[in-house]
Amino acid sequence: MERRNFVKTTALTALGAVLLRPLEVLAEETTSSVATKEQLKDIELPAGIRERYVPGVNGLTVHVLEAGFETPERPAVLLLHGFPELAYSWRKVMLPLAAAGYHVIAPDLRGYGRTTGSDNTYDGNFASFRTHELSRDALGLIMALGHESVHTIVGHDVGAIIASYCALVRPDFFRSVVLLSCPFGGVPPLPFGVGLQTAPIAQQKTALQDPLVSLSRPRKDSTSYFSSRNANDEMLNCKQGLHDFQRAYFHVKSADWSQNKPFPLTSGKAEEFAKLPTYYVMDLDKTMPESVAPDMPSQKEIDACKWLPDSDLDVYTQEFKRTGFQGGLNWYRCTTGGLNRSDLELFSGRTIDVPSCFISGIADWARFRPAGALEQMQQKACTKMQSFHIIEGAGHWVQQEQPEQVTELIVDFLKHLK
């Protein structure tokens, strides 16, 4: 595929001055790190994908990759990445989607990459990273680009959770949804009828210990680790170096790691949950880099990894080295701290009623987290689940590992929307 460096210029949209900001301006605006022009290296992209910086979106200047922009009035397809990824993770699917007739838009999410304006510190306002705000970012970006609706919103990993929320809350705007890897198991129920009870409710414990800690082999969930104060520093400054940590992390969650043979969990109990690989349920005394280090791929395996060669991995390394992980990690704090759940509870009893599609890799454990969510999505939570696919030869990074299959399935879903 032809590759080139994108030359950043200034452009106008129908809404006015939506700027393609040059590196010098972005370097001055970056709040997530001390950036310089030299640090903001050009990202090599396939010809036909451009970058732009869209200011004034819910307090952000959003870094966007875009394809199919040459033809006006195309339906919008919005692609939301996961952790620890970037808009760059969609580089292999954007042009085929554009060729199918869509305006394809892939932003760096709040706290990631070259999107600026958020407080990406541990001690800042981490509530601004909850799913509700990230969904508001998505809505604001699309409106800033002059679209009155999104034909389909596609989300992977954390992006799938955001996409689910968007489709749940604004079905008038997000007309269909494609979820990659992470199923939508439904809105948590609120207690019903407790005011009618005559007997006093048993006093709740003031402190609940994570049951994973009490196992004979003490464990912790990765979401708890990602919520901790030290996680960012431990990953950014790990013993093996950032590049090797990212290589190992991408490897163990892909189909390349032979031990990924997922199966449904029978319950959410600690003993059952502990059957997940250690990149999901970690040893209590280990960091994430320490957890994945033993499974660092050999040089032969790295050379054979066509879906993520070192030249592509270097893009992730250079961006996270500059920004750190804390912006992305702050979303996990909203999850473990209950903010994401409390926002979702407002829609208790609601379902996703727009046409929906689910795609996962056969070697991806994420589709079984949490236990029962996959079945709930198919049976109840998504009332118009029109397409469901498990892809051979893919793990968690499905749109990067098997981009042709993912694109073909998304295009087919869009062609047959009911």
How far apart (Å, rounded) are the C-alpha atoms in residues 5 and 311?
Answer: 14
* Joined tokens for residue 275: 């059957």
Structural contact between residues 395 and 360, judged by C-beta atoms closer than 8 angstroms: no
Give the span between the Cα atoms of 338 and 85, in whole angstroms: 24
| Helix 131-144 vs helix 326-336: crossing angle, to nearest 10 | 130
What is the distance between the alpha carbons of residues 353 and 255, in angstroms, rounded to a whole number?
32
End-to-end CA distance of the chain: 34
- At 13 the three-state DSSP class reads strand
From edge to edge, which strands make up the β-sheet containing 385-391? Answer: 50-57, 60-67, 103-107, 76-80, 152-156, 177-180, 356-361, 385-391
Tell me how long the chain is: 418
Closest of 380, 342, 383 to residue 188, by C-alpha:
342
Topology of the domain covering 9-187+338-415: Rossmann fold (3.40.50)
Q: Where are the domains of the chain?
A: 9-187+338-415, 211-334
- 43/314 Cα distance (integer angstroms): 10
d(CA 296, CA 287): 15
Which helix (H) or strand (E) segment is 95 a member of? helix 94-99
- Distances in Å between the alpha carbon of 373 and those of 218, 267, 376? 25, 11, 5
Per-residue model confidence (pLDDT) at position 15: 38
Q: How far apart are alpha carbons 74 and 141 in whole angstroms? A: 16
Rounded distance, CA 177 to CA 80, Å?
Answer: 11
Q: Considering the entire predicted model, what is its pTM?
A: 0.90
Sign of CA dihedral 34, 39, 45, 48: positive
Could you list the beta-strand ranges (E) of 144-256: 152-156, 177-180, 219-221
Q: How many CA atoms lie within 13 A of 295 on its CB side?
A: 20
Q: Is there a contact between 89 and 156 (Cβ–Cβ < 8 Å)?
A: yes
Mean per-residue pLDDT pooled into runs of 10, the chain (418 residues): 36 39 43 46 92 97 97 95 98 98 98 98 97 98 97 98 98 98 95 65 50 96 98 98 98 98 94 96 98 98 97 97 98 97 95 98 97 96 98 98 98 92
C-alpha–C-alpha distance, residues 175 and 269, integer Å: 36
Who contacts 21 (Cβ-Cβ below 8 Å, separation ≥6)? 8, 10, 29, 52, 53, 55, 61
Place of tokens 């070192």: 310
Burial letters for 386-410: b for 16+ Cβ neighbours within 10 Å, e otherwise? ebbbebeebbbbbbbbbbebbbebb
| Distance, CA of 401 to chain centre | 16
Cis peptide before 96 (omega within 30 of 0): no
Neighbours of 103 (CB within 10 A): 25
Which tokens belong to 104? 């394809």
- Residue at token pair 């029109």: 386
